Structure 1
Amino acid sequence: MKISFVGSGNVAWHLAQAFEDAGHWICEVYSRDTQKARQLASSLYDTNIQPDLNFSESEANVIIIAVSDDAIESIIQRIVLPEGVILVHTSGTRSLAEFQNLIEIYSDVYVHTGVFYPLQTFTKGIEMDYKSLPFCIESKNELIENKLIQLAQSISDNVSRMDSDERFILHVAAVFASNFTNYLLTISHDMLDREQLDFELLKPLIQTTIEKALVSNNPAVAQTGPARRGDWKTTGRHLEYLQETDEDWTEIYRLMTDKIRNFYISK
């Protein structure tokens, strides 16, 4: 397929290179930051830098809007599309109906719409196994949906049809599983750094914790720690230290301890 990207951030950076490696042609890259568009295009074989949002002469079969959720509407207001192109976004939360409605308001030509959501945290320069990367695909047109599924399957073995409501719930769960988990790890790092202790000491524990959660049908069975055991003497000592150290850490510790305790009491 011939593919163009609106956006040059982490998602576009990874998907563009994965698609090219699978034999697709990345026609154009547009970014409001021309330097970033140039950097992405330079990492690809034969990709033009799109100077503006006028894609009317583009040869692309699919145009992928890979920008923040807040920027999608602004892009739709200004983009000029070739008739019949497949236009998709990569958001976990923006509904297909909302996306389609914006196209109907602002586009002067008929285009097909869809969702091409990769469920992953992306960082430039960090390689990943695209074959296991989950893609959630949606379109109201079955033929277009099948084309998007085939596109996703050209780089991944983990492709699902998923409607907007299901995708939204998946995104909420992903925030707990990834974003909140990473923030807790950041607290752990900063706590040790404050006391001049090495974060490397925690990495075997972190790895084992994640591995245990992944091999279990329910991570709840792998829960350990003083709150799970009801060891309130230990949690009390922890809170004494935290209250002298950081108010936010204290609040988070108390909340998590209470939630873990209440969860297992209810069981």
Structure 2
Amino acid sequence: MPQLPRPSTSLRIGLLGTGKVASQLGPGLAAVGHRIAFVWGRNGQRATALADQLPGAQLLSVLPAPLPPADVYLLAVPDAAVAPLLQSTTWPAGALVAHLAGALPLDVFAGQAAVRGGVFYPLQTFSPGRTIDWPTVPLCIEAADPATEATLLELARSLSSQVLRLDSAQRLKLHVAAVFANNFTNHLLGVADALLAEAGLSPTLLAPLVRETVDKALAHPPFAVQTGPAARRDALTLAAHRTALAEHPAWRALYEQLTASIQAHL
């Protein structure tokens, strides 16, 4: 695991949110020397559990007006909650506030005159029980002004060795790509797992194939190394697969769409 130097400045972080990202990011920032000044979330039980992991963090049951002082306020909340939270919160004058969303543009901060807006987007999937190797996680930064950008870059570089400046349009494309690579792939693995279960077969049978598929796709342009019956235009096998999926019309439709997409990119 890459080892990063300790940050030259310990920043005070106000953490708003207690979900999957916040529960990993808060301890990650504390571990590299930053101080979580406070934790707030709509779920009081989760907020208490997270604050208990962060030495010195104040637990806020409600958001005071104004908020306690911090160098950076991180909005680790759902995308749809960012704008309402910005508008309903009394921010200290000149507060540096950054959201963590992939698809939300920087202009969500438009009209927030008291706030210096920014983006601190970690390109990773977060799930309970999984440990995040923060030095390997790409962190994407965008800011409304150079001073805000400098602070967010300092914070990001203390946590990760992969820090990128991306504008909102680039970040949106990256987020869409990530959904294809992660969320859609995981769904397809779920379909495969269910089909194996129907046949009384172990999902572990696919493990070597999945690993080789991912390794190959990371080493070569994925379209260039496409294999399988769709790429071979193997009509007999494709017909057999359609028959095997007769009891699952939604999965069969997905199979047809993916087959057509593969053949369109040959």
TM-score range, shorter chain: over 0.9
Which of 221, 225, 229 is 2:224 aligned to?
Answer: 221
8 Å CA contact 1:64, 1:89 repeated in 2: yes
Q: What code does the residue aligned with 2:262 have?
A: I
Please report the RMSD computed on the Cα atoms of aligned residues, expressed in angstroms: 1.2
Distance 2:82 2:262 in 1: 38
Instruction: Report Cα offsets for 1:43-65 as digits up to 9, x if no partner.
Output: 22221111112262512111100
- Equivalences for residues 202-217 of structure 1 within 5 A: 202-216=206-220
Residue 137 of structure 1 aligns to a residue whose secondary structure is strand
Aligned residues: 256
Higher relative contact order (CA 8 A, sep 6+): 2
Which of 102, 112, 115 is 1:103 aligned to?
Answer: 112
In the TM superposition, what is the alpha-carbon distance from 1:141 to its structure 2 partner?
0.8
Which of 236, 251, 263 is 2:253 aligned to?
Answer: 251
In the TM superposition, what is the alpha-carbon distance from 1:147 to its structure 2 partner?
1.0
- Equivalences for residues 166-185 of structure 1 within 5 A: 166-185=170-189
Q: What code does the residue aligned with 1:123 have?
A: S
In the TM superposition, what is the alpha-carbon distance from 1:70 to its structure 2 partner?
1.1
In the TM superposition, what is the alpha-carbon distance from 1:125 to its structure 2 partner?
2.3
2:196 maps to 1:197 = no
Distance 2:117 2:261 in 1: 42
- Equivalences for residues 95-134 of structure 1 within 5 A: 95-97=105-107, 99-104=108-113, 110-134=114-138
8 Å CA contact 2:223, 2:265 repeated in 1: no
8 Å CA contact 1:18, 1:130 repeated in 2: yes
Distance 1:141 1:39 in 2: 35
**Structure 1 segments of 4+ aligned residues over 4 angstroms from their partners:** none
Residue 103 of structure 1 aligns to a residue whose secondary structure is coil
2:69 maps to 1:52 = no
Distance 1:55 1:252 in 2: 50
Corresponding position of 1:35: 45
Distance 1:54 1:80 in 2: 8
8 Å CA contact 1:54, 1:81 repeated in 2: no
8 Å CA contact 1:138, 1:163 repeated in 2: yes
Distance 1:55 1:86 in 2: 16
Q: What code does the residue aligned with 1:5 have?
A: L
Distance 2:225 2:71 in 1: 47
In the TM superposition, what is the alpha-carbon distance from 1:163 to its structure 2 partner?
0.6
Distance 1:121 1:213 in 2: 19
Residue 205 of structure 2 aligns to a residue whose secondary structure is helix
Distance 2:15 2:122 in 1: 15
Which of 68, 74, 81 is 1:71 aligned to?
Answer: 81
8 Å CA contact 2:20, 2:128 repeated in 1: yes
Distance 1:102 1:5 in 2: 22
Distance 1:199 1:146 in 2: 47
Instruction: Report Cα offsets for 1:164-217 as digits up to 9, x if no partner.
Output: 11111111111111111111001111111122211111111111101111112x
Corresponding position of 1:89: 99
Structure 2 residue ranges without an equivalent (≥5):
1-10
Distance 2:42 2:146 in 1: 33
Corresponding position of 1:25: 35
Structure 1 residue ranges without an equivalent (≥5):
105-109
Corresponding position of 2:238: 235
